[in-house]
Amino acid sequence: MGKGRLEAFSDGVLAIIITIMVLEIKAPEGATLVALKPLVPTLLAYVLSFIYVGIYWNNHHHLLQASTRVSGSVLWANLHLLFWLSLLPFSTRWMDDYHSQALPNAAYGLVLLAAALAYWLLQQRIIAAEGEQSALKQMLAHDWKGRLSPVLYLAGIGLSFVQVHLAQATYALVALIWLIPDRRIERRMG
């Protein structure tokens, strides 16, 4: 299978994930700004999860642009990543429904952590498929965001049981870190 087909399939799955998340948002119980107030946690949870899906979509695109080979293990690693990302609508809804409770916030962080580890595994499988001289390996040599994110997710999971708002702020911080584009791959490919 070519990487174009893998990218198209992944794009479709990510589009469905975003669609599921937006369908979970219910209309307000009125036509006033006051009626929107109870939906603020829902909208914030959706925005955060939408940003995460967008970050993964963008980075996945760059990752595949930099890759030259797709092996069977790359396909499985990609499915592994998509599995964890497909749990974002569920964990977003649960965190939204119980935004002040520890377990749903910790579960959201766990999904983010698992997706980050799955993305790292996908990178490793692509590098293995390309061999020791992989250009991608050189491009990802100093991946401070990739190393810091799991640590912050673990901190957020722990903070969920201390102060859920700090956990939520930690998850938002990681998203903000990733919103600043990583130009290593673009510079190398450009």
Q: pLDDT, tens digit, for every residue of 179-189? A: 987 666 666 66
pTM over 0.95: no
Query: pLDDT band at 1, cuts 50/70/90?
Result: low
Enter the tokens of residue 36.
């929107």
Q: pLDDT, tens digit, for every residue of 92-149? A: 999 999 999 999 999 999 999 999 999 999 999 999 999 888 888 888 888 899 999 9
End-to-end CA distance of the chain: 25
Please compute, for residue 35, the number of CA atoms within 13 A of its CA located in the half-sphere on the CB side. Answer: 7
Cβ atoms of 18 and 87 closer than 8 Å:
no
Enter the tokens of residue 154.
């673990």
CB atoms inside a 10 Å sphere around CB 181: 12
H-only helix segments in the chain: 3-23, 33-36, 40-66, 72-86, 88-97, 102-130, 135-139, 144-159, 164-179, 184-189
| Nearest Cα to Cα of residue 59 among 188, 164, 185, 190 | 185
Q: pLDDT, tens digit, for every residue of 145-180? A: 999 999 999 999 999 999 999 999 999 999 999 998
The CA distance from 166 to 170, in Å, is: 6
Cβ atoms of 86 and 114 closer than 8 Å:
no
Which residue is listed with tokens 């498929």? 129
